[in-house]
Structure 1
Amino acid sequence: MNIVFLDTMTLGECDLTPIKQLGELICYPFTTPQECLQRSKDADIIITNKVVLNKEILKQLPKLKLVCIAATGMNNVDLQVAKECGIAVKNVAGYSTKSVVQHTITLALGLLSKISYYDQYVKSAEYTKSPIFVNLKYDAVDIDNKKWGIIGLGSIGKGVAKIAMALGASVSYYSTSGKNAQGYPSQSLESLLKESDIISIHAPLNEQTKGLIGEKELSLLKNKAIILNLGRGGIIDENALAQELKKREIYAGLDVFEVEPMQKNHCLLSKDIPQERLLLTPHIAWGYVNSRKHLIEGIAQNIRSIL
């Protein structure tokens, strides 16, 4: 089997041995749309994380038997055309649940503790000039007794709820799909936004969630509330969020953005936004070491399923 991995750079440094054992593996760090067809034409199996396989490309790959998506989302492959061409398409689900939960808690605690400010304060040598042993310029806030609202109570949301409660928070949720989840009180979106001290988003991007949190919704947040997006970019209106951060004391932590990578001069990079109110990471919550190991094992298992 000829196996072509079109964008290994998206997985960082990791051991691809489980895949190499199943065929002749050719790896490309990154593949542009113009390079995709040429690199794929002799493949029996293609592995792609974010490289798009559209109708035009799939129709010209008669040898192709399987597309393995190195992710959970499948929107980069034309599934209908793949089916018409007899090409199986398999993703890997659930591999990153624990790391996304951990990253969510990390962002929340980082914002509550103002850790980025205090880290920079010490590293800049300002601390060496202090006449006293401590700096309490910004309040580090306990999570205990806070209200944590979760938007999207799937496996990740439930994992976050479990840890939040262990740290002393009370948990409620809003279901974007309308499905009920046992064990936690359900709220309307409006009530959850008004009442929660911390809101974390763990929903997929679809017709129900695109633009779910816009200017009106952000205006409902408590002063000093924290909003976190670990779901998909596009759920929060980033321009509206930037304006709200400039106007009043709310906090935000984002690992996902509407356009990735962020565009130059992005609104959230404005110098008018106090940086202690904002933590941004480059879509890494899924990519912790164990998560990538589980992902590679899942890809290998998907390949074995057709051999």
Structure 2
Amino acid sequence: MPATPRIVFLDAGTVDDLPAFARFDELGDFASYALTSPEQLLERAAGATVLITNKVALSAETIEQLPELQLICVAATGTNNIAKEAAAARGIPVRNVAGYSTDSVAQLTLTALFTVAMDLLHLNREVYSGNYSRAKDFTLWRQPFYELRGQRYGIIGLGTIGRRVAELATAYGAEVVYYSARGNDHDAPYTRMELDEFLATCDVVSIHCALSEQTDGVLDLDRLRQMKSSAYLVNVARGGIVVEQDLVTALDEGAIAGAAVDVFREEPLPADHPYLRVRNRDKLLLTPHIGWASVEARTRLIEGIMQNIRQGV
């Protein structure tokens, strides 16, 4: 790598508000763009020795047209937007940042669960609408809610984030079990279950696995109907793991009590997405893929990218 590398961050809009972002200038000739469209990609990447991308796809054709490129840094954990074989053929390392968002995603997982299971959005509206002010009693609710203590909390994917969620659920007194799509046992103090029993017995199911051939669409309508009608589903992993229309059907027919979703097969969420047509919106909490995005997590991400650049080729 040259003494002064030319570094281009193609889609920095989700991290360029942080103080740590200014430190990229210390590493070389640095340029950044909030977003880069496919039409803008080659012009902006031309001459770069280091490319940083979050979601911008780098195809084999694109990589071949960037003769000076020596390093690709992914501002995320997943690298499926990179033609890695083409990069390897050129001797170009592809470096990601793992583990930066563990606590942030785990925090949202429990927050989202409690928000939907305790009916908090509805209760907030009841206070602001004046219905609580007109109530005859000092308290108000429309449906019972339960403590997590003593309930079975099921985790799909016992990786770094899944283990952190397991720790939090255990701290609340839940019984944690897990399902592994690969059928692997993990060195962890939790019981691994097969999917049928897992779905039929868990009071909460939260998803923390990668999207793969084994997990793509694994939670379809038949699987969702296996769950308890009192159970809650939380998906903070990848949208494609749950068949999205089937989740709406399951909620509308009362197959499960509620769900919280932070990830979608297509992002941003299309305006005609089936989630937006769910009958009772209080049963489906939707957040715009924010689980990864605490200030601390995004700062760790920037620091990880800079460390990957410092390592050179």
Into which bin does the TM-score normalised by the smaller protein fall? over 0.9
Judge conservation of contact 1:10–1:49 (CA < 8 Å) in 2: no
For 1:2 and 1:39, the matched residues in 2 are separated by: 11
For 2:85 and 2:268, the matched residues in 1 are separated by: 28
Judge conservation of contact 1:227–1:251 (CA < 8 Å) in 2: yes
Judge conservation of contact 1:112–1:142 (CA < 8 Å) in 2: no
Please point out which of 191, 195, 198 is paired with 1:192: 198
Q: What RMSD, in angstroms, separates the aligned Cα atoms of the two structures?
A: 1.3
For 2:157 and 2:205, the matched residues in 1 are separated by: 11
For 2:244 and 2:282, the matched residues in 1 are separated by: 17
Distance change (3 Å), C-alpha of 1:44 and 1:99:
same
For 1:276 and 1:146, the matched residues in 2 are separated by: 22
Percent of pairs with identical residues? 40
Judge conservation of contact 1:242–1:268 (CA < 8 Å) in 2: yes
Amino acid corresponding to residue 253 of structure 2 in structure 1: K
For 1:135 and 1:270, the matched residues in 2 are separated by: 28
Match of 1:300 in 2: 306
The reply to whether residue 103 of structure 1 matches residue 105 of structure 2 is no
Match of 1:36 in 2: 41
Please point out which of 14, 33, 43 is paired with 1:10: 14
- What is the TM-score of this pair, normalised by structure 1? 0.96
Match of 2:277 in 1: 270
Match of 2:185 in 1: 180
The reply to whether residue 209 of structure 1 matches residue 215 of structure 2 is yes
How far the C-alpha of 1:27 sits from its partner, in A, is: 1.0
- What is the TM-score of this pair, normalised by structure 2? 0.94
Secondary structure at the residue paired with 1:241?
helix
For 1:89 and 1:199, the matched residues in 2 are separated by: 33
Judge conservation of contact 1:5–1:26 (CA < 8 Å) in 2: yes
For 2:276 and 2:17, the matched residues in 1 are separated by: 28
Secondary structure at the residue paired with 2:77?
coil
For 1:257 and 1:170, the matched residues in 2 are separated by: 28
Amino acid corresponding to residue 14 of structure 2 in structure 1: T
For 2:162 and 2:25, the matched residues in 1 are separated by: 34
The equivalences for 1:112-123 within 5 A come to 112-123=117-128
How far the C-alpha of 1:17 sits from its partner, in A, is: 2.6
Q: Which runs of 5+ in 2 are unaligned?
A: none
Judge conservation of contact 2:251–2:278 (CA < 8 Å) in 1: no
Secondary structure at the residue paired with 1:10?
coil
Judge conservation of contact 1:18–1:296 (CA < 8 Å) in 2: no
Secondary structure at the residue paired with 1:163?
helix
The equivalences for 1:74-85 within 5 A come to 74-85=79-90
Please point out which of 126, 136, 143 is paired with 1:138: 143
How far the C-alpha of 1:271 sits from its partner, in A, is: 5.0
| Mean CA deviation greater in 119-128 or 257-266 | 119-128
For 1:276 and 1:152, the matched residues in 2 are separated by: 27
The reply to whether residue 260 of structure 1 matches residue 267 of structure 2 is yes
How far the C-alpha of 1:2 sits from its partner, in A, is: 1.1
| Mean CA deviation greater in 81-90 or 251-260 | 81-90
For 2:15 and 2:230, the matched residues in 1 are separated by: 36
How far the C-alpha of 1:285 sits from its partner, in A, is: 0.7
Judge conservation of contact 1:19–1:299 (CA < 8 Å) in 2: no
